[in-house]
Amino acid sequence: MNRPRTIVSFILALTLAAVALAAELKPAELRKLTQQERSQDGFKGDSVGTPVKVVGVGEKKKDFWLIPVFQGGKLAAVYRDDPRRESVTEVAKATALRFCRADLFEASSAAQELTRAGVENPQPVLISCGPLSAFGATNTGWYQRVGESFVLLSLGGKLISESEVEQFWPEYLPVLRAFRP
């Protein structure tokens, strides 16, 4: 009957899953690729930061890695993994990142910032839900559940409440309310 078609479909699904798992680059590989990309572009003396996992929220739900690059102690660029090319792609240059804080590319710094804002026991998750202007050039920010509500922390250090999201970015409200890290 349809047994051969089912077997072929199953084998195809397993093959695609194996390819997808193999395509994800590891943080050490991402750092190396980012350094190579910067060197090819003529930038010497850059320091490649630790890659940070970003959770995709909403329709696309595609997770990715962000890799900050520092030059002279300042944020010089941000890259993201590019699985199609098995490489990295620049997301933003220094001029677009002037409002980002370099320390907020680490969960521990985001947690400290949230603690200062009055959040108890923060465990922020770096998310991307699309082109949310409050998140700036990288379209990413920290998400923190607070009871039945949530707050967002931009990479620039701006705290955004659920009511502000409702007022200024209502199209993202259902997705952000439904997200459970």
The mean pLDDT of the chain is 86
Percent of the chain past pLDDT 90, that is, above it, reads 62
Residue range 148-166, pLDDT digits in tens: 999 999 999 999 999 999 9
133 pLDDT band (50/70/90 cuts)?
Answer: confident
- Cα 84 to Cα 96: distance, rounded to the nearest angstrom: 25
Q: Where are the beta strands (DSSP E) in the chain?
A: 47-48, 52-56, 64-71, 74-82, 87-93, 125-128, 141-146, 149-154, 159-161
For residue 60, the model assigns a pLDDT of 67
For residue 40, the model assigns a pLDDT of 86
Pick left, alpha or beta for residue 139 (phi over 0 → left; psi -120 to 50 → alpha; otherwise beta).
left
**72: burial class by Cβ within 10 Å (0-12, 13-18, 19+)?**
exposed
Residue 20 has pLDDT above 50, yes or no: no
Contacts with 124 (C-beta within 8 Å, 6 or more apart), sequence order: 107, 110, 111, 114, 142, 143, 144, 153
Please tell me the least confidently modeled range out of 13-22, 86-95, 141-150: 13-22
pTM of the model: 0.82
Percent of the chain past pLDDT 70, that is, above it, reads 86
For residue 19, the model assigns a pLDDT of 42
If DSSP codes are grouped into helix, strand and coil, which group holds residue 130?
A: coil
Residue 127 has pLDDT above 50, yes or no: yes
Residue 146 has pLDDT above 50, yes or no: yes
Residue range 55-108, pLDDT digits in tens: 999 876 789 999 999 988 889 999 999 888 888 999 999 999 999 999 999 999
- Cα 132 to Cα 57: distance, rounded to the nearest angstrom: 12
Q: By the 8 A CB rule, do 83 and 75 touch?
A: no
For residue 155, the model assigns a pLDDT of 95
- Cα 126 to Cα 110: distance, rounded to the nearest angstrom: 9
Which DSSP state fits 155?
A: T
